[in-house]
Amino acid sequence: MTAATRFKRVLLKVSGEALMGRQGFGIDVAVADRIAADIAEARALGTEVSVVIGGGNIFRGVGVASKGGDRVTGDHMGMLATVINALALRTSLTKLGIEAIVLSAIAMPQICESFSQRVALAHAEAGRVVIFAGGTGNPFFTTDTAAALRAAEMGASALFKGTQVDGIYSEDPKLNPHAERFEQLTHDEVLQRGLAVMDVAAVALARENHIPIVVFSIHEGGGFAKILAGGGRSTFVSD
C-alpha cells in the first residue's frame, strides 16, 4: 500500500503565522499561493485534503486576556482572523483551478457557508478542498484543537501539522541547535514529555480517535506531497 492510499483523506493544519512569510503581519500572497500549490500536489496523488487555518498572523485572542481584557471577546476576534485567512487560501486555490469551500464555525452567510459535518463531507466527496474557519466556534479552544476535532469528524486518515521546523524536537531547535529530533512518537509520549507541538486537548483528541499526527515543515515547498508519497522529513505520532 502506498503512502498516498494509506492517507486517503487528510486534514492539514496551517498556522496563521505561516501565511506571513517574511512579513511581520498579515498575509503574504506568495506564501498562500505556495501552500495552495502544495495542496494541489497532494491532491494529484489521490489524497483528499481539508484544511484548518489559524489566525495568529492577524490577531491572537490570548493577547487580549494577557493585557486584562475579556478572553471570550479576544477569542471571537481571533476566530474572525481565521476567516480572513481561509478566504485568502481559497483565493489561491481558485487561481490554480481547484474548487474550494470555506465553512465557518460562526455563521456569516454573506461571506461563507456555515459548518456542519454533513455539509463538509458532501463537499469533500464532491472533490472540493474544504477549508474550516472560525476554530471550533467556541472560546478557550485553539485552532489545533479545532484541527483534531475536524479530522475526527471528517474521518481523516491523518492530521498533518505544518510547523516552523521539520518535525518534533525535545526543545526549540532555533534556540538549542543540539535539541533531539524525533522520527516517531506515540500520542502518550508527546503528552508525557510535554512536547509543545500541539496543545494537550488536540493531542488527546487525536489519540482517542486513533488519528496519527504528522508534523513537518510548512516552509518546504512540496514537502507535504513528498511525505504523502513516502519520503520527506517529518515526525510521525501514532498509537
Q: Residue 10 and residue 15: Cα distance in Å, rounded?
A: 16
- Tell me which residue of 77, 83, 57 sits closest to 65, measured CA to CA: 77
CATH number at residue 31: 3.40.1160.10
pLDDT at 216: 96
Could you read off the pLDDT of 56-65 as tens digits, one per residue?
Answer: 999 877 677 6
Pair type for strands 235-238 and 213-217: antiparallel
**Residues of the chain above pLDDT 90, percent:** 87
| Total number of domains constituting the chain | 1
Task: Over range 187-205, report the average pLDDT.
Answer: 95
Pair type for strands 113-114 and 158-163: unpaired
Could you read off the pLDDT of 89-118 as tens digits, one per residue?
Answer: 999 999 999 999 999 999 999 999 999 999
Coil vs helix vs strand at 42: helix
Is the model's pLDDT at 53 over the cut of 90? yes
Is the model's pLDDT at 6 over the cut of 80? no
Output the pTM of the full model.
0.93
Find the domain containing 28 and state its range. Answer: 3-238
Q: Residue 21 and residue 106: Cα distance in Å, rounded?
A: 27
**Residues of the chain above pLDDT 70, percent:** 97
Contacts 24+ apart (CB under 8 A), 178-183: 181/235, 182/235, 183/235, 183/236
